[in-house]
Structure 1
Amino acid sequence: MSIRKFLAAAVLTLLTVISKPAFAESVLRVVPLNELKILDPIWTTAYSTRDHGYLVYDTLFGMDENFRPQSQMVEKWSVSGDQLTWTFVLREGLKWSDGSAVTAEDCVASLRRWAARDTQGQILASWL
């Protein structure tokens, strides 16, 4: 490579780095396996919809890198001595996309909606 080509490449690289906005490092670019046709993970078994759901929707609990449950929407929880009653307290400040507050009733409605379609959720539905 000639010195002229090397200097041209260095200048181009420098201009590219300088011209990028400061937030560019926080942009996540994803190439999905297939086209996302259904946004609601309850109505399909497509992995692309499931993955999209995990990226954009909150859940009461999520899994960490070691597959241990970690609270996401839940601030604290308790279990009764007989382990039949579980009480969850939602974090302050949870909001819908329109700015309205997320309520416990919203969470119960979402769990019932999921339980009606998912075989694992049908057991839970009897407790709600």
Structure 2
Amino acid sequence: MDLLGSRYLSAQPFAEIRCIARTRRHTRCLNRVLALRKPHGTWRLTTLLPGRTPVLPAAEIAVYDLEHLAHAEQHRWRAQRCPTHALITEAADMVPEGWQIFDPLLHHQHIATRLPAGQARQRERA
């Protein structure tokens, strides 16, 4: 996932990422970060290691790109909050965020060289 100028790896598929906020009942929020009424990311193929000679067989990687979203929306994704809990700044986190900075050498098993089925290829941004 491309977000706020970095590439991240999530513990689960982006559509299943849950809000990490603690509710008033002291349980984890059940809402997903991906919200129907919020702008969505787009799948695209991009270079695996921009500006570097590829050290892995794949030169391109499929990423879910959120960089075209408003800065505040990208921060909501990075904070792993649903739209409701993004507005409640005093809501504590129930669990840690589920992100890792993506390292193609360490996470090579997660490299997809094709877009998911039904996704049109997006042009690489200049």
Q: Which has the larger radius of gyration?
A: 1
TM bin (shorter chain)? under 0.3
Q: Specify which structure has the higher proportion of strand.
A: 2
Tell which has more relative contact order, 1 or 2 (C-alpha 8 A, sep 6+). Answer: 2
Q: TM-score, normalised by structure 1?
A: 0.27
